[in-house]
Amino acid sequence: MKIDRTSLPRAVAFGVASLLLFVSIFAFADELVEMARRTRQGEKIYFLVPISVAFLVSFVHGAFTHHFWETLGLKPAKKLQPKKDT
């Protein structure tokens, strides 16, 4: 198996960022629950916090996964063009 060395630093960087995001979610779980409670009490602006966190985690983890598989040499299959009958 050939390792793509150009994707390796990106995979490591996004992997570390993903790990830090997951650790921070667990570290600040009580604060996130408090924001959810405040949202139910009428402070509606706090609903943006979990949505923003979800988008950020999704983007960073997706980028890590992409670069991880690319580093290992696995890429998506190319679509075959249907043959035209002439």
Domain range annotation of the chain: 8-71
Q: Determine the pLDDT at residue 54.
A: 94
Residues 66, 67, 72: CA angle, nearest 5 degrees: 105
pLDDT along the chain (86 residues), means of 10: 83 97 96 90 89 96 94 84 73
Q: Determine the pLDDT at residue 21.
A: 97
The SS3 assignment for 34 reads helix
- Which residue has tokens 């075959």? 80
Is the pTM higher than 0.85? The answer reads no
Q: Determine the pLDDT at residue 76.
A: 79
